[in-house]
Amino acid sequence: MESCKYDVHVHTAEVSSCGKVMASELVRLYREAGYCGVVITDHYYDGFFNSLGDIGWEEKVDRFLLGFHIAREEGEKIGLSVIPGIEIRFTENPNDYLVYGVDEAFLKDYKELYKIGLSAFKKLAEGKGLLVYQAHPFRPGMVPVDPACLDGVEVFNGNPRHNSRNHEALAFALKHHLKMISGSDFHQGEDLAKGGIIIPERIISPPELVDLLKNDRISGLIGLDEEV
């Protein structure tokens, strides 16, 4: 059976202001590192969309998806799967949430999701077949939320410039029987391949990713064994 590594927490320089690696380059880096795919989870928050000025929402979403589209085009050339996702921050607090299952149509149909808060978003996500994972919930400045508002938790965050207190995230997920993922939180070169999930087959679409996560078909969490 094939074993594939996917990084499910990756940012592009085209969209995330904290990102330092352009989308086409990060795709090549991950292919060279032996990964089968990445999920582009650029930062979805009020500051990004407000910075785009007085243009229509669909045009703003096109701008938000620029890194993903560039990465996917390059990935098709070199054999790396590139799947869209988001890392959303609501205006209610500084917490971040990784959302899987989104596509371009969803993002264009539902405007300014950062305004509605986690509770309302979770209800919407359930109706649309999306999954919500809290990213690095124990990083300084962030707090773990009501488990009922989550499908899972990022129990290993590989970003070396933050103390994400991964052991506490793991304990929280185990206590509340939440699904678990690992991600590099890739922003620059030193973050490459620091995290990710190991799965039994190659996937190429948001529904395939959701199906895999919902049905617990992850065989390993990259980085977690080394830490715990």
Superfamily of domain 4-227, CATH level 4: Metal-dependent hydrolases (3.20.20.140)
Task: Render pLDDT for 47-83 as a digit per residue (tens, 0 to 9).
Answer: 999 999 999 999 999 999 999 999 999 999 999 999 9
pLDDT band per the 50, 70, 90 thresholds, residue 26:
very high
What is the distance between the alpha carbons of residues 48 and 15, in angstroms, rounded to a whole number?
A: 8
The two beta strands, 81-88 and 220-222, are unpaired
* Beta carbons within 8 Å of 155's beta carbon, 6+ residues apart: 166, 169, 170, 173, 180, 181, 182, 221, 224
pLDDT at position 228 is: 42
pLDDT band per the 50, 70, 90 thresholds, residue 226:
low
Query: Once rounded to an integer, what is the mean pLDDT over residues 196-218?
Result: 97
Task: Render pLDDT for 144-184 as a digit per residue (tens, 0 to 9).
Answer: 999 999 999 999 999 999 999 999 999 999 999 999 999 99
Does the structure show a pLDDT above 70 at 1?
no
> Taking a C-beta distance cutoff of 8 angstroms, is the pair 222, 195 a contact?
yes
What is the distance between the alpha carbons of residues 161 and 77, in angstroms, rounded to a whole number?
A: 32
